[in-house]
Structure 1
Amino acid sequence: MSHSVGGVNITPAVNMNAEKMSDEQIDIFQRAFADIDGLEVFPYMYVGSQVVAGVLHTYIASKRPIYPGSQASLAKVVIWQHPDNVISINTITDI
């Protein structure tokens, strides 16, 4: 990523004891964004989950609109997994 004045430099780092995301956690994220056009997203960290008439999965991710000169930013992404395994985006919040 290029450096720009006032821009965000995203360089994720975790301690040596951090667990990697499971294949299921990555699959949930990818399925949620599979049909989204115009936005590039990449999960950095799986934060956790909450059971509520399904499961809410929370991630920290980078997001970048797809257009020339756009900048990436960090976001909290909450994905809802229905009990029937249907996946949908609940919220995307800039952080």
Structure 2
Amino acid sequence: MTIHDGGWVIDPKINSHIHPMTSEQHNIFTHAFEGFCGAGYEPIAYLGKQVVSGMNHRYVALQTLAQPGEKKSAIVTVTLYVPLEGRAVITSIETI
């Protein structure tokens, strides 16, 4: 499979049924959210990647907001940017 700069590559596994994430995909997500405050995020599925100056990765995740006396959850898409050198950075979180 050829990946061109700027184009998203959807994980072909998602088309038939959801497979568990690879440990690398899970680790990218986990490391990006280390020390993140305000909400909890749990990855549900890996959607695909995009080659840029580095790599973008897109996930579906469960977002949990804890407020005094209540808990709110939502399903979100999360896009992470992994530079050529350095750690993953959260670039977007969007409610589905």
* Coarse TM-score class (shorter-chain normalised): 0.7 to 0.9
The alignment covers a number of residue pairs equal to: 82
Cα deviation digits, residues 45-78 of structure 1 (max 9, x gap): 0000000101000000010112231210010000
For the aligned residue pairs, the C-alpha RMSD in angstroms reads: 1.8
Identity of aligned residues (%): 28
> Residue 26 of structure 2 corresponds to which residue in structure 1?
26
Which residue identity does 1:24 align to in structure 2? E
Give unpaired runs (5+ residues) of structure 1. Answer: 1-13
More strand by share: 2
Give unpaired runs (5+ residues) of structure 2. Answer: 1-13
- Closer/same/farther in 2, CA of residues 87 and 15 from structure 1, 3 Å limit: closer
Shift of 1:22: 0.4
Q: Distance between the aligned counterparts of 2:88 and 2:42, measured in 1? A: 17
Q: Distance between the aligned counterparts of 2:82 and 2:95, measured in 1? A: 21
* 1:42-81 alignment runs, 5 A limit: 42-67=42-67, 68-81=69-82
Which residue identity does 2:37 align to in structure 1? D
The question of whether the paired residues in 1 share the 8 Å contact of 2:32 and 2:87 is answered with no
More helix by share: 2
Q: TM-score, normalised by structure 2?
A: 0.77
